[in-house]
Each structure stands twice: as C-alpha cells, then as structure tokens.
Amino acid sequence: MKIVSVVGARPEFIQVAPVSRALRETHQEILVHTGQHYDYRMSQAFFDDLGIPAPDYNLEVGSGSHGRQTAEIMVRLEEVLLKERPDLVIVRGDTNSTLGGALAASKLHIPVAHIEAGERSFNRRMPEEINRLVADRVADLHFCASRMAVENLAAEGITGSVYWVGDVMLDAMLQNRPIAQRKSNVLQCLNLKPRGYSLVTIHRAGNTDDPARLRQIVIALNRVPEIVVFPVHPRTRKALSQLDVQFARHVRLIEPVGYLDMIVLEENARLIATDSGGVQREAYFLGIPCLTLRDETEWVETVKVGWNKLVGTEPERIVEAWTHFAPSGERPPIFGNGTAARRIAQILNGNPGGDVQ
C-alpha cells in the first residue's frame, strides 16, 4: 500500500517513529510534516533523537488561528494527496494537523486511519476535543490506545472499524528508554539527583490562555517544597511573558528538551505535574506519581487505578497533593504491551488478530 502519514506537532513525531518503522517493512510510506511545530526543539530534535526518516514534504504552515492553520493544512495537503494518490492517509492524536489531514483526505475519498482514536475529555471548549470528534467521524479505521476509547467510540455508534491495539507512545517509550539511559546526561547538566526534584509541563490552551489559571499554577509551583524542573513550551513562555509573575528560585525554567532527555527527566522525577496527554501516560508507564493540572482528563483509567490525580489549578489543592499523593498500587496494562505499531501494520496487512491483552 502507498500510505501518507501526516504529522505536525511534538507528540505526533514521537508517535510516528515506531509506526513508520513497522509500516515500512511492507508498505511505502510518504511522511508529510505540516509544519505546525517548527522550532528546532519542538520538531527537528525529535527526528534526530528518534531516527525518524526525513519528511518527504514539509507544508510549512507555521502558527496561526485555528481556522487559518487548519485551512492551510488542508489546502497544502490536498495538493500532495492529488499528486501522490495514496491508498490510505494516517493521522494521529488530536491536533489541528490531525483535523486538517483527516478532512483533506476524506474529501478526496481517500481512506483515513486514526491512531489514538476514541479519546474523549467531554469538554468541547478544548480544541483537541473538536479535532478528535471530527477525525473519528470521518475515519475509516480507528486504532485505540485503551479499551475506554473503544467504549467511547461505541457510544457514538462507531464500531466495526475499531481496533484496540494499545498506545504507540508506549512502543516509543520501550524502544527509546534504554537508549535514553545510555545517551542522556541531562541530570548531570542540570545538577539533579534521582527523586530529588519534580517535573512540570504546561501547554494546554485552557491553562495558558487563561491568565487567572496560569497565575494560580505559578503560585502553586512557587509554594512547593522541592526543586521543580519546568521545560517551557513556547506557547507557555509567551503567556508567562505577558503575565507579571516571578518564579521562586527552586523553580527551574528550561527550554523544551528532546525526547531522550525527557524520558530521563521523567523516570528520575519524584513526581510529575502536567496538563499534557502524553506526559500523563508516560508517568503511568514509568510508575511516577502524576498530578494533572486540569479539571478533567481523557486518560481516566490512570486516575481510576490511582496513579494520576486531577488537581485543577487551585494552589492549595495542588500543594496539598504535591506533598501527600503517593500511589503504590498495581499498574495494569491499560495501554497494551508496547506492540501497538506492529499490530497496526498487521491490521493494514489484512491480519487483524484479536485485541491487545
């Protein structure tokens, strides 16, 4: 099969790495980078760290409003799709690149596969929720990271084309953790000791674009009693610069880090606090307690089994959980067993097999 894979934002580069490797054993893959993320640390660093093949096309859409960015992706991707005439377009996750890719392909009657299908926050004010709902509605194949996602799709009447393959982020973690442990010297560079710090990431529009919520998060971080390492997403850096706040000395703001450094920072953290979907799951894979700085999450299973706690942005609640949250129970294989990419390739080869167990 000739397959066009669409990527554009940081988590999509991580997800495409194991899938590309598996697909290219039997299929021709054309990699299209929409250009949604473009800073070296948000894009090329992941191609370098993960050995992802160079994109065949970069649409260079850059940043913009939702309408403009999605429309530019559609206009520029349509040209590529008309030229390449693929048998399948694969999109992943819930970004504007996912939405633009799914719409451009489905309007040309090209079958669409959606990886990480069926995740729902049930909050339609999140741009990602709209992107997921539309991508799942037009997709012909749905590859789910968790059983909950399969149930969410069933509740929307989407069945038959749905496969629980597990989370490709887990594949990426298992493949890259030993490499990260060998290559990364991030702890030495930042003078950190294992379990001697917490790790924070924030980038959700719901937190960054709401000055009151962002201010509350800063107040909470300033109050916690340990070193906080905070790789700052460019969107958050911009929002913080418009907010008149000071960070306490124990909060160390750094540039976004590459994937290998991130794995080492995550696995050695005492605690992770985040609003990222990928980082919540990685905390679970690694058995690091996670506080989610949101009011709801798509990854409800991690909350149900006790390894993730929804704390919102209220400082007292965050600081209380920071000191007292100490999960220790089992971590059942909610996200499969790290063979999601291989299962996706098998399904595309016509061998569906059973759900991942």
Interface positions with ligand UD1 (CB under 6 A)? 9-11, 36-39, 42, 63, 94-96, 127-128, 203, 234-235, 238
The answer to whether the CB of 288 falls within 8 A of the CB of 271 is yes
Question: Shortest distance, CB of residue 253 to ligand UDP, whole angstroms?
Answer: 11
Q: Tell how far CA 187 is from the center of its chain.
A: 23
H/E element holding 7?
strand 2-7
Looking at beta carbons only, is 42 or 341 nearer to ligand UD1? 42
In this chain, which of 35, 55, 100, 277 binds ligand UDP, going by CB under 6 A? 277
Q: Which residue, 8 or 289, is less far from ligand UD1 as judged by CB?
A: 8
Among ligand UD1, ligand UDP, none, residue 282 binds (CB under 5-8 Å by kind):
ligand UDP
User: What single-letter amino acid sits at 83?
Assistant: K
> SS3 string of 284-311?
HHHCCCEEECCCCCCCHHHHHCCCEEEC
Q: Which CB atom, from 133 or from 305, has the smaller least distance to ligand UD1?
A: 133
Nearer to ligand UD1, 41 or 270 (CB): 41
Does 278 participate in binding ligand UDP (rule CB under 6 A)? yes
Q: Which of 93, 299, 161 is nearest to 102 (CA)?
A: 93
Phi, psi of 2 (to 5 degrees): -95, 120
217: tokens are: 């998060």
Query: Could you write out the DSSP letters of every residue in 134-155?
Result: HHHHH-SEEEESSHHHHHHHHH
286 interface partner picked from ligand UD1, ligand UDP, none, CB below 5 to 8 A per type: none
The least CB distance from residue 121 to ligand UD1, in Å, is 11
Q: Which does 139 bind (CB under 5 to 8 A by kind): ligand UD1, ligand UDP, none?
A: none
Q: Does 14 bind ligand UDP (CB under 6 A)?
A: yes
Active-site residue numbers?
A: 203
Task: Tell which residue, 225, 219, 227, has the closest CA to residue 244.
Answer: 219
- Name the one residue in this structure whose structure tokens are 């939702």: 66
Contacts 24+ apart (CB under 8 A), 123-128: 123/295, 123/296, 125/206, 126/204, 126/205, 126/206, 127/66, 127/96, 127/205, 128/93, 128/94, 128/95, 128/277
CB atoms within 10 A of CB 54: 9
Q: Which is nearer to ligand UD1, 40 or 189 (CB)?
A: 40
Cα(163)–Cα(171) distance, integer angstroms: 16
CA distance 161 to 241: 46
312 binds, among ligand UDP, ligand UD1, none (CB under 5 to 8 A by kind): none
For residue 199, state whether it binds ligand UDP (rule: CB under 6 A).
no
Q: CA 234, CA 98: separation in Å to the nearest integer?
A: 20
Structure token pair of residue 203? 């980038």
Instruction: Establish if 201 lies at the interface with ligand UDP (CB under 6 A).
Output: yes
Residue 55 is a binding residue for ligand UDP (CB under 6 A): no
Shortest distance in whole angstroms from residue 87 CB to ligand UDP? 28
Q: What distance in Å separates the CA atoms of residue 127 and residue 69, rounded to the nearest whole number?
A: 13
- Taking the least distance from each CB to ligand UDP, the nearer of 192 and 348 is 192
Total residues contacting ligand UDP (rule CB under 6 A)?
A: 15
Which residue among 35, 86, 256, 338 contacts ligand UDP (CB under 6 A)? 256
Q: Does 259 bind ligand UDP (CB under 6 A)?
A: yes
Which CB, 154 or 243, lies closer to ligand UD1?
A: 243
Residue 122 Cβ, how far from ligand UDP at the closest point, in Å? 17
Between CA 184 and CA 230 the distance in angstroms is 17
**E strand or H helix at 65, and its extent?**
none
- The yes or no reply on residue 231 touching ligand UDP (CB under 6 A) is yes
Tell me which of ligand UDP, ligand UD1, none is bound by residue 235, counting a contact when its beta carbon lies within the kind-specific cut-off of 5 to 8 angstroms.
ligand UD1
What is the contact surface with ligand UDP in residues (CB under 6 A)?
10-11, 14, 201, 203, 231, 256-257, 259, 262, 276-279, 282
